[in-house]
């Protein structure tokens, strides 16, 4: 189930980048 953990981590990182670029 490592894939789910990795996906969750990637989603968090993408959200951070998105918020930074939008902000």
Query: What is the token pair recorded at 23?
Result: 């902000």
Q: DSSP H helical segments within the chain, as ranges?
A: 2-22
pLDDT at 3 (0 to 100): 81
User: Looking at per-residue confidence, does 17 or 3 come out higher?
Assistant: 17
Q: What is the pLDDT of residues 4-20, one digit of tens each?
A: 999 999 999 999 999 99
- Taking alpha carbons only, the member of 3, 22, 23 closest to residue 11 is 3
Residue 1, pLDDT > 80, answer: no
Separation between Cα atoms, residue 9 and residue 19, nearest integer Å: 15
Q: How far from the centroid of its chain's Cα atoms is residue 5's Cα?
A: 11
């Amino acid at each position: 189930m490592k894939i789910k953990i990795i996906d969750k981590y990637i989603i968090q990182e993408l959200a951070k980048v998105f918020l930074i670029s939008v902000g």
